[in-house]
Amino acid sequence: MQRLNSFEREVQVYALVTALGSHASQIVEVHCGIDLKAPRTTVELILDKLQTYFRAQRNIAVDRVNFHQRKKGQNETFDKFRFALAELAEDAELCSHCVESQMVTQIIVGTKDDKAKRDLLEERDFPTLQRAIEICQASEAASTNQATLSGSALHVHKVSHRRRTRSRGRSRTRPPSDQCGNCGNKRHHDRNDCPAYDKPCDNCGKRGHFRSVCRSARKQLNETPAPTTKGRGRNGERNAMVLSIFCGRIHKTSDTYCELPRIKLTFYNLHSGEVYGSLGNVLPDTGAGANLMSVENYRELGLDPRKLIKTDDVILAANDLHISTCGKAEFELKYGDVRIPATFLISDEFRGTLINCRVCQDLRLVPAPFPQQMRVNQALPLNPANDNLETIKTLLEKFADVFDGDKPLRAMECTPVHIELTDDVKPFQVNGPRPIPIPLREKTKKLLDDLEKKGVIASVTEPTDWLHPMSIQTKPRSDSLRLCVDLRHLNKFVKRPHHPVRTPHDAVTSIPPAARYFSTFDAKHGYFQVPLDEESQLLTTFCTPWGRFKHLRATMGLTSAGDEYNRRTDAALADIPCMEKIVDDVLLYGTDLAEHLAQEFFSRDVVLQESL
């Protein structure tokens, strides 16, 4: 997609329409009246027409209401908030003379940073937009730094699964007679005057009272059993160990502490697969026995805490501190390419999200044998023994031709490649060569001479039906050049002989764990080693400032070149043991050095026989 601007106009237009989808394509052709085949139709024209069409579908009054109702989110950064305001202001088509003042007003109204809001209101003159941005950014940075320097830790010790029991001698603490039992304020003459009237409780979900006076919350606290450390506790409770939850951050002042790793998890509906969203503050805790999530994070996923699954689980911290839970929720988690189910306890008495040891193992964050110690293989010496050095020297001398890149490039001992074309083929010719930058002309001419000397290309003097353009590219991290022939018009009519290619993952997983010695090899100009038959050579004729040339070997950019090369080299190297190959990269491995060197001798014999 990044190189679309170099393609023809027609290719760019149809690529854009394909990316937009069928519905947008109908809008372009039917509502906007654009003829995609017309020579004047461009990508810019389509985008302008679509913008006009979608702009007409919206009411500017709605855009202005959205602008004035925009507030900063709970975890939204100030920069993200002001960028969103700027986009809404543009959609609302606010007056150019007052747009900045309205932006400042909306920043004051919408920000949740009380300090920044106070500083803005203390300004003697109405602050400019730039001044408002500086104040809010400075306040946000100060809050972030303060949180870095002073974190808070909450250590969870265990989760208790309680049986529902009643205590005969239990007494409740009732509010004073002059205090309303629903809101905590002074009693009201009429219950309709109570601010908690018909309001939902954040703790139990029932209506008519606030969480601060919720009897369900006090009931849990009064019934909290004495902490135990193993087996079953009092009243038959079941204990699950959770070593720690870290909810803040510790500023590292010595080697005693380290930065706690956080990961980003995507949460899905366990049954429907609907995506809820992602959390980037998830802490993997291998010492935890339960998955925990704050109510704040639960709401960030767009979920209502009042609809949580009821649970009798009680969390006990390492210091025997009781942590109440609002309920539990079931999710499907995704990390990388792994998706697993998991159940979380939801609590409003800590911040952040924590995953336990089992989830860490299922997500492949820690090895399955954890906490068993991992075995590390002893590093091999860098310098081989003298006997092995002599063997390596003999290897290089015997097969010197294989490593010599100055001699003409040998062609493989195989049937030449024949480029088979479809019946509707239409030959293509360019009128002249593409210009080459003056500083690169001398290097380009030398490159063509070297390729001709090695037998990769040859000069053409007779008339040909095909003539392709040529360009030069500089190789990355190198001053050398790469010859690039544009064969797109030929590739439209080439019948591709598909051949499977191994993936790196498949090759790596095929190597046994006992392998200790490895040798890697890269085929020199891999595709250039596969010969083309005479009929196919003229199909690759290309134009240069120094005349026409044709390829005598398969070349990069030809649709069928990769399949032909892989099929031939896979067959040629099939008998080599302990070998993995991906296109032109070959890896030899072995468990013993002497055996590995013998394997290399065998592989070189094969390479010589096949003229690789």
Residue 199 and residue 221 in one domain:
yes
Residues 362, 394 within the same domain: no
CA terminus-to-terminus distance, the chain: 36
Nearest CA to 162 among 370, 322, 377, 53?
Answer: 322
Same domain, 240 and 366: yes
| 507 three-state secondary structure | helix
Q: Identify the pLDDT of residue 165.
A: 46
Predicted pLDDT at 589:
82
Q: Do 430 and 502 share a domain, yes or no?
A: yes
Q: What are phi and psi of 61, to 5 degrees?
A: -65, -40
Q: The CATH number of the domain where 116 resides is what? A: 1.10.1200
Whether 173 maps to a domain, the answer reads no
Q: What pLDDT shows up at residue 4?
A: 60
Instruction: Locate the DSSP E strands across 286-375.
Output: 291-294, 313-317, 322-323, 327-335, 338-347, 353-355
Strand order in the sheet with 542-544: 457-460, 547-551, 542-544, 468-474, 481-485
Handedness of CA 44, 46, 50, 53 (dihedral sign): positive
Write down the pLDDT at residue 170.
44
Separation of CA 442 from chain center? 43
Give the residue among 168, 200, 174 at the shortest CA–CA distance from 187: 174
292 and 434 in one domain? Answer: no
Q: Are 522 and 585 in contact (CB under 8 A)?
A: yes
**Residue at a domain's end among 371, 397, 413:** 371
As for how many domains the chain has, the answer is: 4
Amino acid (1-letter code) at residue 30: V
Question: Does residue 211 belong to any structural domain of this protein?
Answer: yes
Q: What is the chain's alpha carbon radius of gyration, rounded to the nearest angstrom?
A: 36
From 30, 56, 82, give the residue that closes a domain.
56
- Parallel, antiparallel, or unpaired for β 585-590 and 517-522? antiparallel
Q: Are residues 463 and 591 in the same domain?
A: yes
Q: Which residues of the chain have pLDDT under 50?
A: 1, 151-155, 157, 163-176, 217-254, 608
> Is residue 379 in a domain?
no
Range of the domain at 87: 60-149
Residue 168 within a domain: no
Establish if 376 belongs to a structural domain: no
Based on the domain organization, do 354 and 423 belong to the same domain? no
Instruction: Mark out the alpha helices in 111-214 (DSSP H runs).
Output: 114-121, 129-149
Same domain? 312 vs 416: no
| pLDDT number for residue 376 | 58
- Give the CATH number for residue 478: 3.10.10.10
Q: Distance between CA 224 and CA 158 in Å, rounded?
A: 13
* pLDDT (tens digit per residue) in 22-52: 677 777 777 677 777 777 788 788 887 777 7
Residue 377 lies in a domain: no
Residue 172 is assigned to a structural domain of this protein: no
3-state secondary structure of 270: coil
Phi, psi (deg, nearest 5) at residue 184 = 90, -5
| Site of tokens 């040909």 | 464
Amino acid residing at 98: C
User: What is the number of alpha carbons within 13 Å of residue 412 lying toward its C-beta?
Assistant: 30
Same domain, residue pair 409 and 466 = yes
Last residue in a domain, options 324, 342, 371: 371
Give me the pLDDT at residue 341, please.
94
Is the same domain home to 360 and 394?
A: no
Q: Are 530 and 414 in contact (CB under 8 A)?
A: yes
- Residues for the chain: how many in total? 612
- Assess whether 206 and 302 both reside in one domain: yes
Tell me whether residue 34 is in a domain. yes
pLDDT (0 to 100) of residue 57 = 67
Please tell me whether residues 581 and 518 are part of one structural domain: yes
C-alpha 470/C-alpha 486 separation (Å) is: 6
The answer to whether the CB of 563 falls within 8 A of the CB of 601 is no
